[in-house]
Amino acid sequence: MKRGRNRNVPFVSNPLLRVSLPAYRSQLLMFCVALGFVALAARAVWLQVFSQDFLQRQGEVRYARTIELPASRGKIFDRNGVVLASSLPARAVWAAPEQVDATPEQLARLARLLGMREGELNRRLADNDRSFVFLKRQVEPDVAEQVARLEIPGIHQQREYKRHYPEGETVAHVIGFTNVEDVGQEGVELAKNAVLSGQPGSRRVIRDRLGRVVEDVGATREPHNGSDLALSIDSKVQYLAFNAVREAVEEHRARAGAAVVIDVRSGEILALANWPTFDPNSREKLSGAQLRNRVLTDTFEPGSTMKPFTAALALELGLMRPDTVIQTDPGRLTVGGRTIGDSRRHGELTVAEVIQKSSNVGTAKMALEMQPQQMWEFYTRLGFGQAPRIGFPGAVAGRVRPYRSWKPIEQVTMSYGHGLSVSLLQLARAYSVFARDGELVPLSMFRVDGGEVDGVEVISPETARAVRQMLELAAGPGGTAPRAQIAGYRVAGKTGTAHKQENGRYVRKYISSFVGFAPVSDPRVIVAVMLDEPSAGKYYGGVVAAPVFARITGDSLRALRIPPDAPLAQVILPAEAVEESM
């Protein structure tokens, strides 16, 4: 019976299980539970109220993207509306390396389409720490379509533009080029980058985990295309000048060559040609020599092309008249212990004949009648020693030393183009004072509406016309450049042949040049030509550069439909080389 009663005793009433707990422990437990609920509630309030914007942005990062809408770069035209530069649609192929899932065959095919080595492609895709990497920029649309058909997860494309230059190397130094970001790097593309580039737009989209756009949220900013530009360049004249320079460099085995054509009335640059050059559409193997815009960046001693300015100043100061006789015998002149000379004896020459025969002695005697300050101020008014203001990168100032440091022999040599340096563009512009009756014309690389522009008077019209007649004699049968003549047109100009300097000493290397204008009765174009280091046996400007001038000027006048001002007679040239004093 006792055993039965014990069997009916409740389990919880067992004395061994009776544990007396302090009251504060249960209270502490309840407090902790309540505190936990309060913390959870505070966290919920913090996340849903105070951190809502942050959390929303974090969520959008995982599915929403802002896609840039590229703006089309403005076109560049010549003065007649011929397209010189335009933007064509292209694609940029990029990858999210952590998402790429492709077979070896697909990767090999992708590398071939993008023109990459498989090792380079694999190296870029192996960087799993990056979520974005460009594989190839400015891919042609048809190639991009073939890439898309591979359907490789993680390989994406975005729209962009590729610059195209229809005239290629002919106008490369004028137009320049852009980089893969469509930013100007050279030429007009650099000088007017802000005008041409425009403003890109953007839009918001939702992408899936493979990067595919599944919903277009909407545009946030519309793209604004760049503005178009019209240059002063005439593509026909540019082509003619470019071919003439290239063929002259090849014929005379010159190191380089350059030419510039200027409209006398408006100051517009109709052509600017250089050789060597480059193709802006294919720039894989560019060199510094190819990129140099020699018309603007290269300076040289102008040689005898400076003599007309010395004669002009002598006339302007009243020191000489065109018929004033100067004794040049015995063909040598010693100044300050240094002797200068002519290539041959000329005897008595008038001022006009000094320019026609290119006499160093005659020019030096004119210069010795002047004050150094007068010469320096005249050179400064002509723009020498100052960079041309044409809004174009790379234009240099040349060098004319301050007159206070001139020695008598330096004043003499500068009068016929030694001891100072100029660019071909500066020299061509300075000759506008003879073509425009004493006015120096402002230059422009961009089309000028309205025709003739006002110049700055540097010499009187009477002096300008007198020197113009001298320059016509210099380019005639009795001058140093009969090869500058053009059938049907009267031409005026002056040759230049100057030794080059290396390490401060003159060497037997030459710069051959010619600057002139036509037609003399009503000058319309100024043409300047320079050949650097002709090495085929001829180097005088009258033999090397004058024929290039004649070709460019004649073709340009006909292309511009400028009527002849002389009989269409065959020009007879002497068989022997025409020499000039250097």
Around Cβ 231, how many Cβ atoms within 10 Å? 27
Mean pLDDT confidence for 356-367: 96
Q: How far apart are CA 245 and CA 243, in angstroms?
A: 6
- Is domain 66-108+134-230 given the CATH code 3.60.21.70 in the classification? no
The pLDDT score that the predictor gives to residue 521 is 95
Which H helix or E strand runs over 296? helix 294-297
For residue 529, pLDDT over 90 is answered with yes
Classify burial at 493, counting beta carbons within 10 Å of its beta carbon; exposed 0-12, middle 13-18, buried 19 or more.
Answer: buried
User: Cα–Cα distances in Å, from 197 out to 202, 219, 365, 472?
Assistant: 16, 20, 56, 47
The pLDDT score that the predictor gives to residue 274 is 96
Instruction: Pick the more confident residue, 14 or 71.
Output: 71
Mean pLDDT confidence for 380-399: 91
- pLDDT above 90 covers a percentage of the chain that reads 59
- Which superfamily does 235-559 belong to? DD-peptidase/beta-lactamase superfamily (3.40.710.10)
Taking only the tens place, the pLDDT of each residue in 293-322 is: 999 999 999 999 999 999 999 999 999 999
For residue 214, pLDDT over 70 is answered with no
Cβ-proximal residues to 110 (8 Å cutoff; 6+ apart), any chain: 102, 121, 135, 147, 150, 152, 155
pLDDT band at 577 (very low <50, low <70, confident <90, very high): very low
What is residue 432's three-state secondary structure? Answer: helix
User: Cα–Cα distances in Å, from 174 out to 394, 447, 505?
Assistant: 11, 14, 33
Q: How far apart are CA 240 and CA 8, in angstroms?
A: 125
- Of the listed ranges 91-100, 195-204, 337-346, 370-379, the one predicted with least confidence: 195-204
- Tokens for 227? 């503005």
- Tokens for 1? 């019976």
Around Cβ 227, how many Cβ atoms within 10 Å? 14
For residue 213, pLDDT over 60 is answered with no
Please give the single-letter amino acid code of residue 289.
Answer: A
The pLDDT score that the predictor gives to residue 129 is 62
User: Cα–Cα distances in Å, from 570 out to 125, 186, 485, 553, 565?
Assistant: 71, 43, 10, 17, 15
Q: How far apart are CA 69 and CA 202, in angstroms?
A: 5
The pLDDT score that the predictor gives to residue 130 is 67
In the chain, % helix, strand, coil (3-state, to 5) comes to 40, 25, 40
The pLDDT score that the predictor gives to residue 575 is 45
Q: How far apart are CA 210 and CA 159, in angstroms?
A: 18
- Of the listed ranges 23-37, 253-267, 338-352, the one predicted with least confidence: 23-37
Instruction: Pick the more confident residue, 159 or 420.
Output: 420
Q: How far apart are CA 148 and CA 139, in angstroms?
A: 12
The pLDDT score that the predictor gives to residue 58 is 59
From 235, 304, 415, 444, active-site residue: 304
- Of the listed ranges 184-193, 216-225, 555-564, 567-576, the one predicted with least confidence: 567-576
Mean pLDDT confidence for 461-476: 96
> Is residue 497 within 8 Å of 580, Cβ to Cβ?
yes
> Is residue 553 within 8 Å of 527, Cβ to Cβ?
yes
List the domain boundaries for the chain.
Answer: 66-108+134-230, 235-559
Please give the single-letter amino acid code of residue 529.
Answer: V
Is 304 considered catalytic here?
Answer: yes
For residue 234, pLDDT over 60 is answered with yes
Strands (E), 253-395: 256-263, 269-275, 299-300, 325-327, 332-335, 338-341, 348-350
- Taking the C-alpha atoms of 120, 125, 128 and 132 in order, what is their torsion angle to the nearest 10 degrees? 110
pLDDT band at 152 (very low <50, low <70, confident <90, very high): confident
- pLDDT above 70 covers a percentage of the chain that reads 86
User: Cα–Cα distances in Å, from 203 out to 61, 90, 215?
Assistant: 15, 19, 11
For residue 373, pLDDT over 80 is answered with yes
Sign of CA dihedral 304, 308, 313, 319: positive
pLDDT band at 211 (very low <50, low <70, confident <90, very high): low
The pLDDT score that the predictor gives to residue 581 is 66
Only one residue has tokens 């003439």, namely: 244
> Is residue 144 within 8 Å of 137, Cβ to Cβ?
no
The pLDDT score that the predictor gives to residue 12 is 56
The pLDDT score that the predictor gives to residue 180 is 86
pLDDT band at 391 (very low <50, low <70, confident <90, very high): confident
DSSP state of 169: G
- In the chain, how many H helices and how many E strands? 22, 21
> Is residue 513 within 8 Å of 484, Cβ to Cβ?
no
Taking only the tens place, the pLDDT of each residue in 252-296 is: 999 999 999 999 999 999 999 999 999 999 887 888 888 999 999
What is residue 395's three-state secondary structure? Answer: coil
The pLDDT score that the predictor gives to residue 29 is 80
Q: How far apart are CA 268 and CA 447, in angstroms?
A: 7
Please give the single-letter amino acid code of residue 303.
Answer: G
Q: How far apart are CA 237 and CA 523, in angstroms?
A: 17
Which pTM does this prediction carry? Answer: 0.83
Sign of CA dihedral 469, 474, 477, 483: negative
The pLDDT score that the predictor gives to residue 570 is 52
- Tokens for 70? 């590229």
Q: How far apart are CA 300 and CA 497, in angstroms?
A: 11
- Taking the C-alpha atoms of 435, 438, 440 and 446 in order, what is their torsion angle to the nearest 10 degrees? -40
Q: How far apart are CA 415 and CA 353, in angstroms?
A: 16
Which H helix or E strand runs over 27? helix 23-45
- Of the listed ranges 38-47, 141-150, 165-174, 340-349, the one predicted with least confidence: 38-47
Q: How far apart are CA 487 and CA 259, in angstroms?
A: 21
DSSP letter for each residue of 539-573:
--HHHHTHHHHHHHHHHHHHHTTPPP-S---PPP-
Which H helix or E strand runs over 515? strand 505-518
Taking only the tens place, the pLDDT of each residue in 330-342 is: 999 999 889 999 9
The pLDDT score that the predictor gives to residue 19 is 57
Q: How far is CA 22 from the centre of its chain?
A: 92
Mean pLDDT (the chain, rounded): 87
Mean pLDDT confidence for 29-54: 76
Length reported for the chain: 582
> Is residue 65 within 8 Å of 204, Cβ to Cβ?
yes
Q: How far apart are CA 422 and CA 427, in angstroms?
A: 7
Mean pLDDT confidence for 387-398: 89
The pLDDT score that the predictor gives to residue 8 is 62
111-115 long-range Cβ contacts below 8 angstroms, 24+ apart: 113/143, 113/146, 113/147, 113/150, 114/139, 114/143, 114/147
For residue 366, pLDDT over 50 is answered with yes
Q: What are phi and psi of 443, to 5 degrees?
A: -95, 155
Mean pLDDT confidence for 59-86: 79
The pLDDT score that the predictor gives to residue 304 is 95
Closest CA to 387 of 405, 400, 406: 400
Which H helix or E strand runs over 43? helix 23-45
